[in-house]
Structure 1
Amino acid sequence: MPCMYILYSEKLNKYYIGACINMERRLYEHNIGHSKFTSLGIPWKLLYTEQFEDLDAAKKRELQLKRMKSRKYIEELISKKK
């Protein structure tokens, strides 16, 4: 199922926002250093997901959050989900 997700790295004290179809596989890829940026922050923890009907909708939501450039908003989203 397509989703938008937020990961967190304690090592970097940073959040990472992405979109994918298979969350389990994508988290695995982040934690084995599949991409250059996320390899610096291993281990990544999955803190938040939103499910969508298709990948395009998940990517639109990803871009919406990235454009906000707001750590405070991301942390509020995560805290509301818990």
Structure 2
Amino acid sequence: MFTTYALQSIHKNYIYKGFTSNIEDRFKMHNEGREKTTAPYTPFKIIYTKQFSNRKEARDHEKWLKSSSGREFLKSLR
């Protein structure tokens, strides 16, 4: 099982999109600043998750979230 997710920085205007096989561990890593890309934007809250049965579907959905229509969708969740 894979999860596509979006995190919103609590203090800055930043949304991170990704996918993982373990959302709890991944979220913890982001919030502890152990990811180079997201460390300057901690702390985060989860604003979106969707589960998929395989890695390809999760990756394809992550790509959509990074597209202009996907970004607009995530902005509507704020």
CA distance in 2, matches of 1:58, 1:3: 6
Deviations 1:8-62 (A, max 9, x none): 0022211111000100000001011121121011111111101101122101100
**Unpaired segments of 5 or more residues in structure 1?**
none
Give % identity.
Answer: 33
Q: Count matched residues.
A: 78
Task: Compute the TM-score of the two structures, normalised by the length of structure 2.
Answer: 0.86
- The alignment's C-alpha RMSD in Å is 1.7
1:39-78 matches, within 5 Å, as 39-68=39-68, 71-76=71-76, 78=77
| Deviating more after overlay: 32-41 vs 61-70 | 61-70
CA 1:12–1:69: 2 relative to 1, 3 Å: farther
Name the TM-score, length of structure 1 as normaliser: 0.82
